[in-house]
């Protein structure tokens, strides 16, 4: 439970800065009348304790504070409320329908990368040719990304949709860098495939809210509102009404009028349409921009607290969705012409298994389609998946089994595959015949090698580690370089998921995915384990790492030199002493208790005015009344004392409590 001062500070910095970092001076400008500087510091420390704020230090020593990006939705929902309109729905002409969606596009890219990896140049960039291949077939188009102002190190001819999707895979931690190649992260990919589609949207939406789009606080508030949980799926909403509501709540974009914010908001909505989350349209009446969600609240946390719509269950949390993905069973529809249809409810793990030996044709929203071909079955066989095993798996997952004609064709293909195959073998080459004879005569290398010629030996599979040990012991070890790396992550080319770990139970992979995806920003921080560099500049927000803390002794410096009676008692002093007490309260940034007209008042001094001694500040009594500005001379009050607020900092430094 936050104190009133901490809650007020959190509300102010959220409205003014969203998840962007700010300095102590910026917070001082937001300090409301009646809140002393020390109360501001104590409130900030309380928010740091609750991890509602984090703190980082610049190279020059300046401290930066900010709401962690992962908690902005929670903070927004604590203070700001928006109620979507429930009146008559406007007549709308669709101008940009929802695309197939991020789960489908990410699935396509991830499967391609799993097959051969994504090589990087010497500068750590993706090859243009590979990017163009990745862009083929994805539903996200250049038009969806216009107006976002995305900047990267790539030339203008690089397909922006492929860059964004690859960057999103990095942000979600689904791919990582290894030996100059981007490859899938096996554990996170397995967990991702165990999620339901709505949960995939939730993870992706949490990532894109801070990864793309304008960086200003108003833009972040807009994205939070659009991603909120109050929108009904299938209903049209007007954008201008949302912008007006944000302006009324003090969350407008840099104090611009709503009509000036619309182009930036329209660019963000276009990106969400390309992500498959919503459709865009124009109202028939006046051409106003409207949007319509495809599904109910795909984000797992509302970025603005919104009123529940009638007859809609708001108690169900999106975090429960991954468990549902584990419970569903997919049924594939195999046509006699070898086309395989995938209904929307089919788990993505089943879709991945089918993609191991079938060619994706259309991955549109709703029904996906694959096609069985001899070439894909042959490629799967070369990757270690026997055709008979693929056919048996397909029969188990096909609704009603395989059609007779399809089963016969697959059987004919399987019979002609695998009769011969090309295999790779590592060859040990000796420098001369003497070394070759020494290797051939070694008593413990007989089960590791097959002699191919006078100077060459073939290394038997799985016998490379003992071979290297014995060669090293005999002084015959080869150089460390061993040629090209194998195909990245062959373990992902399996039809079924790996067995759950002991004690994992049902839904363990989904829970791993929830843990891996709950803080997607951690996957892109420099230096984080397994992180690959993003293709776009990182967000400007602060992470949720350990905060830099202010030393306790600096809250009220030189306290031992201040007379104790100034802190513990209310007294009437000589005018000069009385002024000294007020000036000490001003230096510490605390309130002074003064007696005015026989009544004790709480006065927060702000500054000493020039000329004749006067102090400007606010009467801020704790009765709920609005703070009142005042200029006081020492003769205007009777008794006076310094009020030290209670704080964790003060107690840790032994500085006492409030007087």
Q: Whats the size of the chain, residue-wise?
A: 659
Res 81: pLDDT: 72
Q: With cut-offs at 50, 70 and 90, classify the pLDDT of residue 350.
A: very high
Q: With cut-offs at 50, 70 and 90, classify the pLDDT of residue 518.
A: very low
Q: Lowest-pLDDT range, 18-32, 33-47, 495-509?
A: 495-509
Q: Residue written as tokens 């009676």? A: 565
Q: Are 164 and 534 within 8 A, CB to CB?
A: no
Q: Report the pLDDT averaged over residues 437-452.
A: 91
Q: With cut-offs at 50, 70 and 90, classify the pLDDT of residue 236.
A: very high
pLDDT tops 70 at residue 484? no
What CATH number does the domain located at 553-652 have?
2.30.30
Q: Are 217 and 14 within 8 A, CB to CB?
A: no
Instruction: Decide which of 375 and 659 is more confident.
Output: 375
Res 321: pLDDT: 41
Contacts 24+ apart (CB under 8 A), 528-532: 530/173, 530/176, 530/185, 531/170, 531/173, 531/176, 532/170, 532/175, 532/176, 532/177, 532/182
Res 352: pLDDT: 93
Q: Lowest-pLDDT range, 400-404, 405-409, 496-500?
A: 496-500
Res 105: pLDDT: 94
Res 479: pLDDT: 76
Dist. CA 73–CA 18, nearest whole Å: 10
pLDDT mean across residues, the chain: 80
Radius of gyration of the chain (CA): 33
Q: Are 38 and 645 within 8 A, CB to CB?
A: yes
| Distance set, CA 80 to CA 15, 75, 76, 203, 301 (Å) | 9, 9, 6, 23, 14
Res 526: pLDDT: 34
Q: Which residues are CB-contacts of 59 (< 8 A; sequence separation ≥ 6)?
A: none
φ and ψ at residue 414, rounded to 5 degrees: -65, -35
**Does domain 4-67 sit in CATH 1.10.10.10?**
yes
Res 142: pLDDT: 92
Instruction: Decide which of 657 and 69 is more confident.
Output: 69
Q: Report the pLDDT averaged over residues 611-640.
A: 91
φ and ψ at residue 594, rounded to 5 degrees: -125, 150
Res 280: pLDDT: 95
Res 547: pLDDT: 52
Nearest alpha-carbon partner for 3 in 32, 43, 40: 43
Q: Three-class SS of residue 149?
A: coil
Instruction: Decide which of 9 and 540 is more confident.
Output: 9
DSSP 97: -
Domain coordinates in residue numbering, the chain: 4-67, 92-320, 329-416, 427-473, 553-652
| Distance set, CA 92 to CA 224, 242, 287 (Å) | 24, 17, 9
Q: Are 39 and 5 within 8 A, CB to CB?
A: yes
Dist. CA 202–CA 204, nearest whole Å: 6
Res 529: pLDDT: 29
Res 493: pLDDT: 66
Interval 540-596: pLDDT, tens:
666 655 455 554 446 788 888 999 999 999 999 999 999 999 999 999 999 999 999
Dist. CA 650–CA 83, nearest whole Å: 42
Q: Report the pLDDT averaged over residues 491-512.
A: 53
Q: Lowest-pLDDT range, 86-90, 200-204, 251-255, 298-302?
A: 298-302
Q: Residue written as tokens 């004790």? A: 600
Res 581: pLDDT: 96
Q: Report the pLDDT averaged over residues 234-241.
A: 90
Q: Are 23 and 578 within 8 A, CB to CB?
A: no
DSSP string, 308-333: PPTT---SS-GGGHHHHHHH----BE
Helices (H) and strands (E) in the chain, counts: 24, 24
Q: Lowest-pLDDT range, 81-95, 146-160, 320-334, 406-420?
A: 320-334
Res 553: pLDDT: 45
What percent of the chain clears pLDDT 90, i.e. is strictly above it? 39
Interval 156-196: pLDDT, tens:
888 999 999 999 999 899 998 888 889 999 999 999 999 99
pTM for this one? 0.74
Q: Report the pLDDT averaged over residues 363-379.
A: 87
What's the CA dihedral at 396, 399, 400, 406 to 10 degrees? -80
Interval 257-297: pLDDT, tens:
666 678 888 999 999 999 998 999 999 999 999 999 887 65
Q: Residue written as tokens 């038009």? A: 143
373: left (phi over 0), alpha (psi -120 to 50) or beta: beta
Nearest alpha-carbon partner for 187 in 618, 470, 509, 501: 509
Q: Report the pLDDT averaged over residues 608-621.
A: 94
Q: Are 182 and 120 within 8 A, CB to CB?
A: yes
Dist. CA 415–CA 587, nearest whole Å: 89
Dist. CA 293–CA 318, nearest whole Å: 16
Nearest alpha-carbon partner for 32 in 5, 58, 53: 5
Q: How many CA atoms lie within 13 A of 624 on its CB side?
A: 0
């Amino acid at each position: 439970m936050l104190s009133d001062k901490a809650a007020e500070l959190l509300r102010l910095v959220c409205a003014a800065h969203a998840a962007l970092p700010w300095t102590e001076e910026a917070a001082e400008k937001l300090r409301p009348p009646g809140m002393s500087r020390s109360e501001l510091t104590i409130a900030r420390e309380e928010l740091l304790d609750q991890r509602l704020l984090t703190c980082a230090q610049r190279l020059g020593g300046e401290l930066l504070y900010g709401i962690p990006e992962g908690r902005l939705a929670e903070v927004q929902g604590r203070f700001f409320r928006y109620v979507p309109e429930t009146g008559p729905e406007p007549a709308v002409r669709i101008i940009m329908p929802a695309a197939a969606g991020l789960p489908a596009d990410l699935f396509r890219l991830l499967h391609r990368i799993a097959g051969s990896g994504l090589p990087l140049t010497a500068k750590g960039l993706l090859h243009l040719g590979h990017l163009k291949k990745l862009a083929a077939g994805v539903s996200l188009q250049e038009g969806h990304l216009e107006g976002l102002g995305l900047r990267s190190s790539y030339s203008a001819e690089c397909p922006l949709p492929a860059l964004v999707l690859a960057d999103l895979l990095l942000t979600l931690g689904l791919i990582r860098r290894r030996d100059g190649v981007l490859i899938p992260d096996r554990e996170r990919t397995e967990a991702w495939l165990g999620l339901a589609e709505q949960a995939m949207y939730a993870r992706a939406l949490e990532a894109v809210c801070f990864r793309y789009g304008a960086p200003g606080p108003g833009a972040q508030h807009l994205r939070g509102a659009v991603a909120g949980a109050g929108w009904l799926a299938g209903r049209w909403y007007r954008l201008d009404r949302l912008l007006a509501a944000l302006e009324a709540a003090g969350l407008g974009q840099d104090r611009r009028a709503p009509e000036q914010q619309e182009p930036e908001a329209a660019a963000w909505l276009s990106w969400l349409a390309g992500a498959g989350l919503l459709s865009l349209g124009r109202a028939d009446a006046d051409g106003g921009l409207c949007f319509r969600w495809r599904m109910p609240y795909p984000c797992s946390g509302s970025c603005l607290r919104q009123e529940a719509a009638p007859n809609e269950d708001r108690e169900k949390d999106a975090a429960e969705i991954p468990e549902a993905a584990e419970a569903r069973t997919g049924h594939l529809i195999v046509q006699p012409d070898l086309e395989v249809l995938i209904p929307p409810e089919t788990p993505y793990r089943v879709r991945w298994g089918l993609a191991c030996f079938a060619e994706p044709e259309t991955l549109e929203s709703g029904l996906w389609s694959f096609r069985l071909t001899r070439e894909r079955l042959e490629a799967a066989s070369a990757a270690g998946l026997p055709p008979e095993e693929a056919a048996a798996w397909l029969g188990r997952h096909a609704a009603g089994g395989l059609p007779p004609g399809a089963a016969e064709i697959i059987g004919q293909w399987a019979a002609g595959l695998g009769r011969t195959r090309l295999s790779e073998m590592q060859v040990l080459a000796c420098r001369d015949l003497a070394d070759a004879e020494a290797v051939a005569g070694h008593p413990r290398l007989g089960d590791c090698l097959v002699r191919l010629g006078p100077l060459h030996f073939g290394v038997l599979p799985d016998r490379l580690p003992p071979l290297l040990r014995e060669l090293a012991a005999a002084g015959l070890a080869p150089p460390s370089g061993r040629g090209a790396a194998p195909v990245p992550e062959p373990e992902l080319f399996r039809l079924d998921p790996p067995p759950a770990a002991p004690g994992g139970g049902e839904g363990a992979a989904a829970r791993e995915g929830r843990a891996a995806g709950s803080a997607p920003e951690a996957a892109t921080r420099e230096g984080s384990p397994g992180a690959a560099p993003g293709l776009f500049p990182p967000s400007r927000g602060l992470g949720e790492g350990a905060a830099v803390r202010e030393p306790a002794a600096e809250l009220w410096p030189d306290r031992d030199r201040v007379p104790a009676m100034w802190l513990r008692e209310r007294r009437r002093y000589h005018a000069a002493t009385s002024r000294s007490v007020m000036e000490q309260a001003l230096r510490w940034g605390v309130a002074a208790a003064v007696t005015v007209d026989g009544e004790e008042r709480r006065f927060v001094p702000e500054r000493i005015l020039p000329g004749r001694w006067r102090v400007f500040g606010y009467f801020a009594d704790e009765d709920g009344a609005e703070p009142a500005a005042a200029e006081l001379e020492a003769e205007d009050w009777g008794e006076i004392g310094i009020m030290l607020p209670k704080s964790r900092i003060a107690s840790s430094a032994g500085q006492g409590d409030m007087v």
